[in-house]
A = this chain, B = another copy of it.
Amino acid sequence: MHENYDLDQLLELVRTKQFRRLRELLDDMNEVDIAEFLDELGPEETILVFRLLPKEVAAEVFTELEDSDDQERLINALSDKELREVLDELYLDDTVDLIEDMPANVVSRILRNTDATTRTQINQLLNYPKDSAGSIMTTEYVYLHPNATVEESFARIRKVGMDKETVYTCYVTQRRVLLGVVTVRRMLLSSYDTRIGDIMETNVLSVNTHEDKEDVAQLLNKYDLYALPVVDGEDRLVGIITFDDAMDVIEEETTEDFEKMAAILPSDKPYLKTGVLETWKARIPWLLLLMLSATFTGIIITSFESALAACVVLTSFIPMLSGTGGNSGSQSSVAVIRALSLDEIDFSDMLLVVWKEIRVAVLCGVCLACANFVKMMIVDRYLMHNPEVTPLVALVVCLTLVFTVICAKVVGCTLPMCAEKIGIDPAVMASPFITTIVDALSLLIYFFIATRLLGLNT
């Protein structure tokens, strides 16, 4: 029963202009799927097919379109009457999202086609900062009076509920101040003459309009809430945030974290919809910065050039050492970054974290060093017949390994925690950044040990 639509069949129907049959198929499809189908069509076909949809469906399909360029083209193609119909069906928070993505001329056309009350509400919502709870909330919720009975409240829900994003959690207010919440479930399980004030939950979790939207989304997730009320500075209810918007925020933030951790500037477009130039712009800054900061590793190698020339075999272990150091460091940094973003640890746990990482690092380092010693003796010395790989050289490499892994893990866990403390996103401190630091550290350790143990001059 898992819904599947046949994209090729739909495209064929568009190509052969069998719109009656197409409309029948579209009737059975979910709005999200219709939007996906529209994404596959050319500009003119999109408009043709969009006009086949019933009003309520059209509005939902419109908000589900992936690409804001498609939305813009559609708006430009629609008559004022058609646009008004779509806008009437949109939830307020979706209209605001739309306005934020559109160029000025389209925005003014949208605002011209909404009624005065909606326009005021839109302007209010637009004033909240980009990442605040206010910017993702909707003002369409059901509020009830504490003195109303369950029966009266059901009547009210019937009357006003049609346009509200959720009716399952209702908010009990008096002079706009939030007193409590009551769920439809609770009402259904109570008798019809119960007063709302007697069954409402007064111990309500709420957030302020200016709180960070990511924190709010995590809160919904942590407490498994369906919706969360948003209040202003005077505890007056101004909106609600529903779980679906929270899930979208979490998905967006996760993508941003992945991007930051791979030294990419965050973008909010899907992979294939991002142009080559845009992708380049998102990737080149960190690549450049990291490349130029590798100057330090170059300087370190240059200053130990004579030592390297005296014992050339040392060079062949540099990539292995910096690779292992980088991997060890990113293991720690990613584990710590994830724990920070899930609120499992904070800055006050720094000592605990470092102590744990040092013990893990010693275990890993010793283990890797032993394996590497055996490998160098068997593979490099005997199988590859490289007489330069003496036990002493192997000892130098293995000691470097132990100290590099310890340094890498300590740097890897402390940097993200310090970043969080001073208000930088810890994800920026992930692998690439740490790798560059660890590269330099591992070389310094390597040459320090090599010059001492092998008696080389720098």
Contacts and interface: CB of A to CB of B under 8 A. Distances in A.
A314 to B, nearest CB: 10
A244 B224 contact: yes
Contact of A270 (B294, B315, B339): B339
Given A3-B205, A335-B262, A294 B342 contact: no
Given A308-B312, A315-B308, A320 B339 contact: no
Interface stretch (A44-52, A357-365, A449-457): A357-365
Interface stretch (A11-19, A78-86, A247-255, A418-426): A247-255
Interface residues of A, number: 120
Given A185-B161, A317-B298, A324 B287 contact: yes
A243 interface: yes
A185 B166 CA distance: 8
A430 to B, nearest CB: 8
A92 to B, nearest CB: 16
B338 A290 contact: no
Given A222-B32, A386-B302, A431-B262, A203 B3 contact: yes
Given A168-B168, A302-B386, A344-B270, A258 B1 contact: no
B161 A189 contact: yes
Given A184-B184, A302-B384, A318-B318, A295 B327 contact: no
A437 to B, nearest CB: 11
A400 interface: no
A259 B432 CA distance: 16
Interface stretch (A98-106, A109-117, A118-126, A371-379): A371-379
Given A161-B185, A339-B271, A334 B250 contact: no
A207 interface: yes
A337 B259 CA distance: 11
B334 A259 contact: yes
A294 B312 contact: no
A337 B257 CA distance: 13
A349 B272 CA distance: 9
Interface string A321-361: 01110111011011111110010110001001100100110
Interface string A142-173: 00000000000010011001100001100000
Contact of A298 (B298, B320, B327, B368): B320
A226 interface: yes
A167 B243 CA distance: 17
A23 to B, nearest CB: 15
A284 B367 contact: yes
Contacts of A40: none
Given A30-B223, A302-B384, A384-B302, A319 B342 contact: no
B364 A280 contact: yes
A309 interface: yes
Nearest to A203: B28
Contact of A1 (B32, B206, B250, B283): B206
A436 interface: yes
Contacts of A185: 161, 167-168
B360 A276 contact: yes
A127 interface: no
A390 interface: no
Interface string A63-105: 0000000000000000000000000000000000000000000
6 contacts: A1-B235, A258-B261, A298-B319, A299-B384, A302-B316, A431-B431
Given A154-B188, A284-B367, 17 more contacts: A1-B204, A2-B211, A28-B203, A157-B189, A158-B188, A258-B261, A263-B331, A270-B342, A279-B335, A284-B364, A287-B327, A287-B331, A291-B368, A297-B323, A302-B313, A305-B313, A315-B315
